[in-house]
Structure 1
Amino acid sequence: MDILSGVSREQFHIYIWVAVAVFVVAGGIFQPRRLHRTAVGAVVGFAALNAGAAIYVLNHYADPRWSSQ
């Protein structure tokens, strides 16, 4: 069963940015005096989520959702 079978390219983009925003807000709330760690965590989280999305797309390259046409 493919959990992300109904997700479009635009939704991937939105979900990644929303997840990073949640990480930043949560890190800012729980560690308000360590802003640099929150920023680094957000950048690392963003990179990890983008890499995960790229791996998913590459594993499902025959799916018509990923064509550029």
Structure 2
Amino acid sequence: MGLFKKSEPQRVEIKGHLLKCPICGAELFYEREAQLNTAVASFFNFDWANRSATCLVCANCTHISWFLGE
């Protein structure tokens, strides 16, 4: 499937609001997960224990918006 979970950009709703890119105002985003690495976990090779975040990448200007949790 490549870099993104879905092959086509999608509209995204966050807490009942349609997400718009804060840079260009576009409404279509690619979704992917990113691990939030910490120095301590990396030092001890426990990167797998770090939290992850959802990243929404604007399909127009590629600005990345990060979200923790579901």
Q: Same fold (TM over 0.5)?
A: no
Structure 2 length normalisation: TM-score? 0.26
Higher helix share: 1
Which structure is larger by alpha-carbon Rg, 1 or 2? 1
More strand by share: 2
Which is bigger in relative contact order (C-alpha 8 A, separation at least 6)? 1
